Structure 1
Amino acid sequence: MSNPLSRGYMATIEAQQEEIALLQSEKAALIHEIKAALEAKATLNEAQTEMVEDAASLEFWASFDRLEQMICFGIEGRSA
């Protein structure tokens, strides 16, 4: 016959082991979510970098076009 006190300890230990297993599962799920969020952030950062580069390129070409128009207008204005 087992001691009621040791049965109580065993029940407590089993409950704690179940709680530890549940916490480990939750931890793994949170780690997975964090990794997914970091990957999404990296993708967003790449997209933002591309947008900034595209905007800088567009601004450069717009400035170039304005300069070209000023030169052409100046030449045409002198010819007339």
Structure 2
Amino acid sequence: MKTGIFSSIRLNLLMSSLLIVFISGCSKSAEEMCVEAQMNFYDQAKPNSKQREYFDTAFKSRDAYYAWAWRECVKK
């Protein structure tokens, strides 16, 4: 009888762990993941590069780029 109880407890722990992994892995919406990717792209632009020059010319600040990224990602 004890092994049945322990098996049941282990199964419940496994299912709880899988649920936690699933919930934490799926917590971001498609828009949030899109914006995160856009911001990573913005942050990786090296100083004095053409990419950084474009960002600095087209957007007044990181916040302005963030707002643009949200608008673009919501459209998709």
**How would you bin the TM-score normalised by the shorter chain?**
0.3 to 0.5
Higher relative CO (Cα under 8 Å, sequence separation at least 6) belongs to 2
TM-score by structure 2 length? Answer: 0.43
Give the TM-score of the pair, scaled to structure 1.
0.41
Q: Which protein is richer in helix relative to its size? A: 1
